[in-house]
């Protein structure tokens, strides 16, 4: 009887230890791997979310700043001739970035935030991705939008840059730090 009880307690003990170890591994991924949070934001919504992602992960925040800032009329999606419409209609458009694009070499994990434009990532995100050696890096997309999901934009990025280790992206409209923390824990970062 005593032996059975001892065996049961040992199994329970091992299970609890394994669970704690798993949790510890998850936490140490966040603290051991240097995390970069890169984002583009034309009107501030994605910027606010990116700040929360950086706060939760302890990552370094880096804004992608267009060399030529987007004016209100540039962002007019009802005008087929506006700058954003012309860029999004041209798969080869690569709007220039202001200054340094950020040094990714030191980072193993990169969160990449952007607003959804025409169900895609704005072309300036491509400018960034093509300005860096991201082979083998883990890139985790997140986005804000009026209502569209992130699936199409993330799939297009994954197809265009297969050398990157893409994680599933997440739409973070109105996300709180708690929501973001839960998502990142689920990812294991």
Ligand X SMILES: Cc1cc2nc3c(=O)[nH]c(=O)nc-3n(C[C@H](O)[C@H](O)[C@H](O)COP(=O)(O)O)c2cc1C
Candidates 30, 37, 42, 150; binder of ligand X (CB under 6 A) is 42
- Using alpha carbons only, what angle is made at residue 80 by residues 151 and 39, rounded to the nearest 5 degrees? 40
Shortest distance (Å) from residue 45 CB to ligand X: 3
- Measured from the CB atom, is 41 or 57 closer to ligand X? 41
What is the sign, positive or negative, of the torsion defined by CA atoms of 61, 66, 164, 183? positive
112 binds ligand X (CB under 6 A): no
Minimum distance from residue 19 beta carbon to ligand X (Å): 38
Give the range of 14-22, 26-34, 138-146, 162-170 binding ligand X by CB under 6 A: 138-146
Distance CA 38, CA 27 (A): 21
Tokens of 19: 């669970």
Considering only CA atoms, give the Rg of the chain.
20
Longest dimension (CA), the chain: 82
- Quick check: 45 binds ligand X (CB under 6 A)? yes
Q: Please identify, using beta-carbon distances, which residue of 13 and 44 lies nearer to ligand X.
A: 44
Would you count residue 86 as binding ligand X (CB under 6 A)? no
- Number of residues binding to ligand X, judged by CB under 6 A: 20
- Choices 4-12, 59-67, 145-153, 177-185; region in contact with ligand X by CB under 6 A: 145-153
The span from the CA of 116 to the CA of 149, in Å, is 8
| Candidates 60-68, 97-105, 146-154, 175-183; binding stretch for ligand X (CB under 6 A) | 146-154
Distances (CA, A) of 132 to 53, 105, 114, 129, 144: 22, 9, 17, 6, 24
In the complex, the residues that contact ligand X under the rule CB under 6 A are 41-47, 75, 77, 84, 115-119, 144-148
């Amino acid at each position: 009887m005593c032996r059975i009880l001892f065996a049961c307690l040992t199994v329970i003990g091992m299970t609890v230890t394994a669970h704690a170890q798993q949790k510890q591994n998850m936490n140490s991924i966040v603290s051991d791997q240097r995390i970069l949070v890169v984002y583009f934001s034309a009107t501030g919504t994605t910027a606010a979310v990116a700040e929360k992602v950086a706060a939760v992960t302890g990552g370094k925040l880096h804004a992608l700043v267009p060399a030529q800032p987007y004016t209100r009329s540039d962002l007019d999606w009802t005008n087929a001739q506006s700058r954003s419409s012309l860029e999004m209609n041209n798969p080869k458009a690569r709007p220039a970035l202001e200054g340094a694009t950020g040094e990714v070499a030191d980072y193993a994990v990169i969160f990449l935030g952007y607003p959804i434009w025409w169900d895609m990532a704005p072309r300036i995100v491509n400018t960034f991705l093509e300005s860096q050696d991201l082979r083998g890096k883990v890139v985790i997309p997140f986005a804000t939008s009026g209502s569209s999901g992130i699936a199409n934009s993330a799939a297009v990025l994954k197809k265009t840059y297969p050398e990157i280790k893409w994680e599933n992206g997440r739409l973070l409209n109105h996300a709180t730090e708690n929501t973001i923390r839960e998502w990142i824990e689920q990812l294991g970062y």
